[in-house]
Amino acid sequence: MTKNIRAGVFGASGYAGLDLVEILSLHPKVDLIFATSNSYAGDPVPGACLRFVRADDVEFDSVDVIFLALPHKASAGMAKRGIDAQLKVVDLSADLRLDTPEAYERSYQTPHPHPELLPTAYGLPEINRANIAGADVVATPGCYPTTALLGIYPLLRCDGLQPDTPIIVDAKSGVTGAGRKPSLTTQFAEVYGNLAPYKTGRTHRHVGELEQEAHKVNDRIGPVIFCPHLLPVDRGLMSSIYVTLAGSLRSEQVHDLYTEVYEGEPLVDVLPLGEQATLKHAVKTNKCVISITPVLERYAHITSVTDNLRKGAAGQAVQNMNLMFGLDETLGLI
Amino acid sequence: MTKNIRAGVFGASGYAGLDLVEILSLHPKVDLIFATSNSYAGDPVPGACLRFVRADDVEFDSVDVIFLALPHKASAGMAKRGIDAQLKVVDLSADLRLDTPEAYERSYQTPHPHPELLPTAYGLPEINRANIAGADVVATPGCYPTTALLGIYPLLRCDGLQPDTPIIVDAKSGVTGAGRKPSLTTQFAEVYGNLAPYKTGRTHRHVGELEQEAHKVNDRIGPVIFCPHLLPVDRGLMSSIYVTLAGSLRSEQVHDLYTEVYEGEPLVDVLPLGEQATLKHAVKTNKCVISITPVLERYAHITSVTDNLRKGAAGQAVQNMNLMFGLDETLGLI
Amino acid sequence: MTKNIRAGVFGASGYAGLDLVEILSLHPKVDLIFATSNSYAGDPVPGACLRFVRADDVEFDSVDVIFLALPHKASAGMAKRGIDAQLKVVDLSADLRLDTPEAYERSYQTPHPHPELLPTAYGLPEINRANIAGADVVATPGCYPTTALLGIYPLLRCDGLQPDTPIIVDAKSGVTGAGRKPSLTTQFAEVYGNLAPYKTGRTHRHVGELEQEAHKVNDRIGPVIFCPHLLPVDRGLMSSIYVTLAGSLRSEQVHDLYTEVYEGEPLVDVLPLGEQATLKHAVKTNKCVISITPVLERYAHITSVTDNLRKGAAGQAVQNMNLMFGLDETLGLI
Amino acid sequence: MTKNIRAGVFGASGYAGLDLVEILSLHPKVDLIFATSNSYAGDPVPGACLRFVRADDVEFDSVDVIFLALPHKASAGMAKRGIDAQLKVVDLSADLRLDTPEAYERSYQTPHPHPELLPTAYGLPEINRANIAGADVVATPGCYPTTALLGIYPLLRCDGLQPDTPIIVDAKSGVTGAGRKPSLTTQFAEVYGNLAPYKTGRTHRHVGELEQEAHKVNDRIGPVIFCPHLLPVDRGLMSSIYVTLAGSLRSEQVHDLYTEVYEGEPLVDVLPLGEQATLKHAVKTNKCVISITPVLERYAHITSVTDNLRKGAAGQAVQNMNLMFGLDETLGLI
């Protein structure tokens, strides 16, 4: 019996951090060694036999891998320290997702804190598995890019989209997607009974990441028109995707295509034709669930759903760790 | 001082019926004479000094106008009786919205119960005011067509849409839109924490109505791709509309166009550029609230929001009544 | 036709302040002159043709009455300035509710900022109408004391409670009761799906106020055991009250007693025996709704419900203003 | 390695049944053989590699134990068949909870269908463990009695309650407690934003069961005044309990008493003094979580929380099965 992987979580009192702790605590091949939180240092960690410690009090040589659920800009520096200490690093922030410092500065309006770390392996296993398996550092994708990319990947791969026509992504996210820091926008009485679009018109920071990765698979696609909405639920993310098909593909063939492409994927479910993916299919699971509706001859409507804190963050981070350590990819996840 | 209009409401214990009663009870020129409910006959009517009566026990000559918040198929017969009794009739069901019996049968899979009543004036005042004012019978539109049509009307009118490209309508509705009859789909624990697409792929009954009315304004448009979602709130409806503009129109001009077209409309608000329409803008009001986001040069994202029970049903019904009786259109509504 | 009352609202961007603005804007005898908000100065006031102004920029001689929806400690100073300017003052904060500086310091752990203003008329009209009518300054009660006091008042008045036995008040409040300032406790994802007791064991600040006013009506009662809970809804407050009756009263007589005491009260509804008061009875109204359940011979269970922002704050403040200016008490409220 | 227990679930498509399936599917010592549902026969069972079968199509000799998540009256007959087939039976209905047919008829207004089965072992392990371990049939308690009994048990056991004073139980339950059958009361738009007391004044069917079991521990207690409320969440149950202590006990001693009594109990957590039990402590766990607040010298306020579908139903049923088969009591539950 081999020894367990020793893991540490930075930023463990945020919503993604708390889910990470929950998953890692139950993972059969992981010992969770520490969980940092500067605000809650000393308090018990929910679901684990640990107390939160300050990030500065952590010893890097006590672990084999660190998970970074830190704000962007703070995360890259900690990744650097982890790399220098020869640890594996799974970053959940935005710091390592974009391939160039220029792209980062364009999306985040600030110079990249550690440009020497770019590019990093992009941690979406269903699209980029080979690169993740051999990597020491992996950038776990954002929740929006995860659902949208998985929702269009089969069409990208088979050249199934009509060039020059936009890919419409109408996305809806539960409130934990906005993080745990108190703000008026995420106050209960502001969200309750409401539905609110925000960062419309390609201004959301995830648009750059989404197009970067989509173009790696297929560079003959039109622009992504992406609009996120704040949904009055705690967790769950739905991307409603509307596409125009290339002349070579009829809408009634799309479901077969998706079924085929995702056939061996344990964490992507394509529902039978006629069944619709809903938040409940994915919430509290580590899966992405997809349904397909053919519309007329040339269009398709794809619904792609994840739990924003699981397949959209913590679950996918652990899936990446499993790959990096040569474990069964779904260990601790199903 | 002229005498008040005497009004009766059929189907008053459903959600739209209850809102109708609430609005009419406070209307300065209306006396609410009766409110029918076969299930609750004898019970007090919330918000009014009345008791529900059975539909069969009503005397038609006690009123000047009847509102029909009845299921489709039942409604047309009652409309017929109202017309025969020389009353004004405001129908909230689907029975009189489609222009031909054939179109009705196509959408509702049943022969039209009173084909002789078709076509009826379509009760969307902002588009069809003149016809409503002179009509004895008006078909109040469905909640989905109302928000979608108001959301694209300025573009239809000015030939601003690229022909042959689809109009994407991703719609989200509060649960009262499904009516008050108990069903598993609308049980609390099924809806809570969920978001669910339904009747995708142009199968929703409102698609025919929506295209019929859109084509009357402009017949050179592409197909409507419409997908409704059940939202875990009680009331409110958002249509997120994505369009490709005609070559003659740039996306940055769209906001001016909407502002101009809706300038004199008391019940349609176009928000300033940069502000987004949310459910809270419209819930418990009788208005439609619209925001515009230009996307690149050729695309626009329009958010159109109503309260599905108000501008999407009861509020618009009273707006129609005001027009039919020559009153100020907004009386009792703002 | 007499001139309208000119009113100003301080702290108008909080939840109670926003409801005040909504009520006053529709009040037939009030002109709303200003609404202050230091955070939102310059922004349009929702539901009114005004923009928020900074509190310092207000001219006291432009109004006849000021409403103070300010935090405690800040409110008393502004009340003083209003009194000095010979305005009527309706305070919604806790500053003027307790009769002595000592009681204030006991509940609020800080010296009273203006002890010379105490005692002030306690603004619960159903119990203290005569004093309010003649007052220049009125302290509008807290939401919890309002529902609890109205829920036990008839029993207090008729000596119906067994001395030395506790009055149990299990209270549940919507989240707006905690104010609009962002905090982790009131973040959406913390409240959603939860129910949480807080400030248990007579530690809530409203206990002193509640017992002070109860004792004025009847000083032979036992202690109040009060436990508030945070409820996952935006507005509405329910006090579930459990009492032991005096030997002279049988539980089956309690409903008649309440019906009689509240017979002439337009803003208190006692439901028929067997019907239960729910949040929906009171939300968005300015009423308190009460139901009575006799339990065995000697006990009664009373449910008292208000909208915490209406009868529990803004609505009652306007009710007090109506009384202070000799208007019909319910003007603008029903 | 011993063979796994073969289990079947009757009534598996209700809310408690679905949770049972979820727990049993992950249980390391159980093979789930069948799950019945007459309405969904043929459909896949969520979370299990099974399809629902009709109850009539089940073979009793394929299993070692049956779980009955059936309506009362239907359940007893199936229990009888299970006993006759020499299976172990874990009943989740109300049929076997009361000790006599007379008590059953009093609470359920119908003759008991199988009086020969009474009395049955009452399946609340923390109070009745020894009897459960040796039983072939166990009646799993209702969700309300479970939280209330665990909330007062230490006081019952040590004679800590003042005789003749009532035990107040103000209870709040999530909507799944009402079952999955559609009804107006549990429709989304009726529950949303509401809080509603129901079956007040000792009329709820669980009062008899609660008092029966409380009296077995201590027959010198006063009446239970029990009022349930419907809470706008899907799952979770809180009992807020208010008691008067016997002269021999001071309120500050109560927390120590509870800590001591529940020290060895793996599925009951007593929170540290000052911390309050909330729904989130218990939802989706199989535990009961309790907090204690001393009030003055003689009173205590106890908050007892469970997940109504887990410790209040399915979790406790599996806890009982573990005991009946001599397994570790918490297997599959933590």
Structure tokens at A145: 């890019």
Sign of CA dihedral D279, D280, D283, D287: negative
Q: Are residues C160 and C285 in the same domain?
A: yes
Could you tell me if C234 lies within 8 Å of chain A, comparing CB atoms?
yes
Give a yes or no: residue B53 inside a domain.
Answer: yes
Structure tokens at D276: 């309050």
Nearest-by-Cβ selection for B280 from A194, A238, A280: A194
Query: Each residue of C275-299: pLDDT tens digit?
Result: 999 999 999 999 999 999 999 999 9
Per DSSP, the three-state class of B178 is helix
pLDDT of residue B76: 98
CB B137 within 8 A of CB B83: yes
**Nearest residue of C to residue D198 by CA position?**
C276
Sign of CA dihedral B161, B167, B172, B178: positive
Mean pLDDT value across chain B: 97
Nearest to C7 by CA among C34, C44, C38: C34
Planar angle of CA C12, C14, C15, nearest 5 degrees = 110
Could you tell me if C299 lies within 8 Å of chain D, comparing CB atoms?
yes
Compute CA distances B86 → B62, B63, B137, whole Å.
12, 10, 10
Give a yes or no: residue A329 inside a domain.
Answer: no
A window 111-140, beta carbon within 8 A of B: none
Does the pLDDT at position D1 exceed 70? no
Structure-token match 């509702």, residue found: B108
Query: Each residue of D99-148: pLDDT tens digit?
Result: 999 999 999 999 999 999 999 999 999 999 999 999 999 999 999 999 99
**Nearest residue of A to residue C179 by CA position?**
A189
How far is it, in rounded angstroms, from Cα A81 to Cα A91?
12
Structure tokens at D46: 């969520």
Could you tell me if C333 lies within 8 Å of chain A, comparing CB atoms?
no
Q: Are residues C295 and C148 in the same domain?
A: yes
Whether this model's pTM surpasses 0.95: yes
CB C297 within 8 A of CB C3: no
How far is it, in rounded angstroms, from Cα B97 to Cα B163?
26
Which of A46-50, C46-50, C116-120 reaches the highest mean pLDDT?
C116-120
Q: Are residues A105 and A178 in the same domain?
A: no
Chain D: give the shortest CA distance to residue C252, in Å: 12
CB A5 within 8 A of CB A32: no
Give the count of beta carbons closer than 10 Å to the beta carbon of residue D234. Answer: 23
CB C304 within 8 A of CB C288: yes
Query: Each residue of D131-190: pLDDT tens digit?
Result: 999 999 999 999 999 999 999 999 999 999 999 999 999 999 999 999 999 999 999 999
Q: Are residues C150 and C278 in the same domain?
A: yes
Could you tell me if A296 lies within 8 Å of chain C, comparing CB atoms?
no
**Nearest residue of D to residue B176 by CA position?**
D189
Query: Each residue of B144-177: pLDDT tens digit?
Result: 999 999 999 999 999 999 999 999 999 999 999 9
Answer yes or no: do A276 and B231 touch at CB < 8 A.
Answer: no
Could you tell me if D233 lies within 8 Å of chain B, comparing CB atoms?
yes
Chain D: give the shortest CA distance to residue B334, in Å: 25
Please give the average per-residue pLDDT across B128-132, as a whole number: 97
Nearest to A234 by CA among A176, A308, A182: A176
pLDDT of residue C2: 65
**Nearest residue of A to residue B189 by CA position?**
A280
Q: Are residues B35 and B150 in the same domain?
A: no
Which residues does chain D have within 8 Å of residue C294's beta carbon, measured at their own beta carbons?
A: 201
Query: Which chains are adjacent to chain B, needing at least 3 Cβ pairs under 8 Å?
Result: A, D
CB B240 within 8 A of CB A197: yes
How far is it, in rounded angstroms, from Cα B92 to Cα B17?
9
Q: Are residues B208 and B317 in the same domain?
A: no
Query: Each residue of B300-322: pLDDT tens digit?
Result: 999 999 999 999 999 999 999 99
How far is it, in rounded angstroms, from Cα D133 to Cα D138?
9
Sign of CA dihedral A249, A253, A258, A264: negative
**Residue length, chain D?**
334
Nearest-by-Cβ selection for D182 from B175, B182, B193: B182
How far is it, in rounded angstroms, from Cα A4 to Cα B169?
51
Give the count of domains, chain C.
Answer: 2
Structure-token match 């079947």, residue found: D8
Answer yes or no: do D195 and C231 touch at CB < 8 A.
Answer: yes
Q: Are residues D81 and D208 in the same domain?
A: no
Q: What share of chain B is helix, strand, coil (3-state, %, to 5)?
A: 35, 20, 45
Residue A77 phi, psi dihedral angles, 5° rounding:
-65, -40
pLDDT of residue D47: 85
Q: Name, in order, each residue with C-beta under 8 angstroms of A71's C-beta and a sequence gap of 6 or more.
A: A11, A93
Compute CA distances B29 → A114, B89, D93, whole Å.
70, 17, 56
Q: Are residues D179 and D290 in the same domain?
A: yes
Query: Each residue of D270-312: pLDDT tens digit?
Result: 999 999 999 999 999 999 999 999 999 999 999 999 999 999 9
Please give the average per-residue pLDDT across B99-124, as a whole number: 97
Chain D: give the shortest CA distance to residue B231, in Å: 11
Q: Are residues D320 and D275 in the same domain?
A: no
How far is it, in rounded angstroms, from Cα C189 to Cα A196?
16
Does the pLDDT at position B1 exceed 80? no
How far is it, in rounded angstroms, from Cα C199 to Cα B306?
40
Does the pLDDT at position C45 exceed 70? yes
Which residues does chain C have within 8 Å of residue A15's beta carbon, measured at their own beta carbons?
A: 189
Interface test with A, best of C18, C192, C307 (most A CBs within 10 A): C192
Q: Are residues C156 and C228 in the same domain?
A: yes
pLDDT band for B2, please (50, 70, 90 cuts).
low
Give a yes or no: residue A334 inside a domain.
Answer: no
pLDDT of residue D120: 98
Does the pLDDT at position C117 exceed 70? yes
Nearest to A293 by CA among A314, A317, A311, A276: A276
Could you tell me if B170 lies within 8 Å of chain A, comparing CB atoms?
yes
How far is it, in rounded angstroms, from Cα D212 to Cα D218?
10
Nearest-by-Cβ selection for A293 from B201, B234, B240: B201
Chain D: give the shortest CA distance to residue B2, in Å: 39
Query: Each residue of B242-290: pLDDT tens digit?
Result: 999 999 999 999 999 999 999 999 999 999 999 999 999 999 999 999 9
Give a yes or no: residue B334 inside a domain.
Answer: no
Which residues does chain A have within 8 Å of residue C235's beta carbon, measured at their own beta carbons?
A: 189
Query: Which chains are adjacent to chain C, needing at least 3 Cβ pairs under 8 Å?
Result: A, D
Residue D179 phi, psi dihedral angles, 5° rounding:
85, 175
How far is it, in rounded angstroms, from Cα D189 to Cα B178?
10
Query: Which chains are adjacent to chain A, needing at least 3 Cβ pairs under 8 Å?
Result: B, C
Chain B: give the shortest CA distance to residue A45, in Å: 26
Compute CA distances B52 → A289, B11, B46, B47, B67, whole Å.
47, 10, 10, 12, 15
Q: What is the DSSP letter of C197?
A: E
How far is it, in rounded angstroms, from Cα B50 to Cα B43?
9
Q: What is the DSSP letter of D53?
A: B
Q: Name, in order, each residue with C-beta under 8 angstroms of B31's C-beta and a sequence gap of 6 or more.
A: B4, B5, B6, B7
- The one-letter amino acid at A7: A
Give a yes or no: residue D29 inside a domain.
Answer: yes
- The one-letter amino acid at C186: T
Does the pLDDT at position D66 exceed 80? yes
How far is it, in rounded angstroms, from Cα D255 to Cα D302?
10
What are the residue ranges in chain A where pLDDT is below 50?
A: none
Per DSSP, the three-state class of C147 is helix
What is the count of residue pairs from B and D with beta carbons less than 8 Å apart? 59
Structure tokens at A215: 């173009």
Could you tell me if A304 lies within 8 Å of chain B, comparing CB atoms?
no
Task: List the CATH number of the domain containing D244.
Answer: 3.30.360.10
Write out the residue range of the structural domain in which residue A218 sits: 144-308
Could you tell me if C284 lies within 8 Å of chain D, comparing CB atoms?
no
Q: Are residues B206 and B235 in the same domain?
A: yes
How far is it, in rounded angstroms, from Cα A134 to Cα B46?
67
Chain A: give the shortest CA distance to residue B200, in Å: 7
pLDDT band for C161, please (50, 70, 90 cuts).
very high
Give a yes or no: residue D334 inside a domain.
Answer: no
Per DSSP, the three-state class of C8 is strand
Q: Are residues D131 and D271 in the same domain?
A: no
**Nearest residue of B to residue D179 by CA position?**
B189
Could you tell me if B300 lies within 8 Å of chain A, comparing CB atoms?
no
Sign of CA dihedral D262, D265, D271, D277: negative
Task: List the CATH number of the domain containing B67.
Answer: 3.40.50.720
Nearest-by-Cβ selection for A189 from C189, C193, C234: C234
Answer yes or no: do D193 and C234 touch at CB < 8 A.
Answer: yes
Chain A: give the shortest CA distance to residue B192, in Å: 8
User: Is B288 designated active site?
Assistant: no
Please count the helices (runs of H) and the strands (runs of E) in chain D.
10, 13
pLDDT band for C99, please (50, 70, 90 cuts).
very high
Query: Each residue of C241-254: pLDDT tens digit?
Result: 999 999 999 999 99
Q: Name, in order, each residue with C-beta under 8 angstroms of D251's C-beta and a sequence gap of 6 or more.
A: D245, D294, D295, D296, D297, D298, D299, D300
Could you tell me if A234 lies within 8 Å of chain B, comparing CB atoms?
yes
Nearest to C17 by CA among C30, C34, C42: C34
How far is it, in rounded angstroms, from Cα A299 to Cα A295?
5
Could you tell me if D309 lies within 8 Å of chain B, comparing CB atoms?
no
Query: Each residue of D230-254: pLDDT tens digit?
Result: 999 999 999 999 999 999 999 999 9
Nearest-by-Cβ selection for A189 from C176, C184, C193: C176
Pairing state of beta strands A288-295 and A299-306? antiparallel
| Dihedral, CA of residue A65, residue A67, residue A73 and residue A74, to nearest 10 | -80
Give a yes or no: residue B332 inside a domain.
Answer: no
Q: For every residue of chain A, which 3-state class applies, written as one string?
A: CCCCEEEEEECCCCHHHHHHHHHHHHCCCEEEEEEECCCCCCCECCCCCCECECHHHCCHHHCCEEEECCCCCHHHHHHHHHHHCCCEEEECCCCCCCCCHHHHHHHHCCCCCCHHHCCCEECCHHHHHHHHHCCCEEECCCHHHHHHHHHHHHHHHCCCECCCCCEEEEEEECHHHHCCCCCHHHEHHHHCCCCEECCCCCCCCHHHHHHHHHHHHCCCCCCEEEEEEECCCCCCEEEEEEEEECCCCCHHHHHHHHHHHCCCCCCEEECCCCCCCCHHHHCCCCCEEEEEEEECCCEEEEEEEECCCHHHHHHHHHHHHHHHCCCCCCCCCC
What is the count of residue pairs from A and C with beta carbons less than 8 Å apart? 59
C window 200-219, beta carbon within 8 A of D: 200-202
Q: Name, in order, each residue with C-beta under 8 angstroms of C114's C-beta and a sequence gap of 6 or more.
A: C76, C77, C79, C80, C95
Per DSSP, the three-state class of C328 is coil
How far is it, in rounded angstroms, from Cα C289 to Cα D195?
13
Give a yes or no: residue D262 inside a domain.
Answer: yes
